[in-house]
Amino acid sequence: MDHTDVPVPVGAAAASSSRVAQKERTRRALLDAALGLLAEQSLSGLGLREVTRAAGIAPTAFYRHFRDIPDLGVALVDETLGSLHQVVGALLAAGSSAEDRITDAVALIAAHVRAYPAHVRFIARERHGGVRAVREATDRELRGFSYEVAAGLAAQPESEGWTVRDVQMLAELYVDLLLITATSLLETEPGSEAERAVLTDARRKLRVVALGRRHWQDEGA
């Protein structure tokens, strides 16, 4: 008998869907609770029971979603950086002018910081923090970020004649500047003079990099 042709009872399918939805809600509650607690402390000092208490679930339920606190931290890294590097990589690969790309990239970073300040603060604090798994996950994501940016830069006319190494170096400069900008924005209020100063400074620095790009010559050339 071909079991693929056996219909799944409607009630069973609904129950399965409900369990999946509940599992996702519990996982989300754990991540959100951890982010809230991490506003005041580092991940290395965060306790499992502290997180589950804040999430309103039993401690044993934690292990259905994460192996331990570092594993939860890695999930936060993936959530914070996993989509942003693809968006910025696509932006830098677009056919607009260099000035437009700079303006759009800075605006994108500012919007992301304002939408997800807790996530950005987590990365800023834990990138060089005491939890090795999180440091490694952050480095891995940022490398992926820079590779995508490098692919976008390599496709631009300004990169004609550049070596792969030099394009990658340029991508890492852009990534570092955008991360510095994101971290600086955390200390400013939206619409404030301090925020405008950070954004202006970021655009100026990116223009300097763009200017150097036009005149760059590999020392080995």
Average the pLDDT over 139-144 and give the result: 90
pLDDT of residue 167: 94
Average the pLDDT over 134-151 and give the result: 90
Query: Given pLDDT bands bounded at 50, 70 and 90, which one contains residue 90?
Result: low
With b meaning 16 or more CB within 10 Å and e meaning fewer, what string describes 55-91? bebeeeebeebbeebbebbbbbbeebbeebbeebbeb
For the chain, counts of helices (H) and of strands (E): 9, 0
Query: Given pLDDT bands bounded at 50, 70 and 90, which one contains residue 21?
Result: confident
Does residue 85 have a pLDDT over 80? no
Whether 117 and 57 have beta carbons less than 8 Å apart is answered as no
Whether 27 and 65 have beta carbons less than 8 Å apart is answered as yes
pLDDT of residue 144: 86
pLDDT of residue 168: 95
Does residue 45 have a pLDDT over 70? yes
Does residue 83 have a pLDDT over 90? no
Residue 137, helix vs strand vs coil: helix
Average the pLDDT over 97-103 and give the result: 83
DSSP state of 220: T
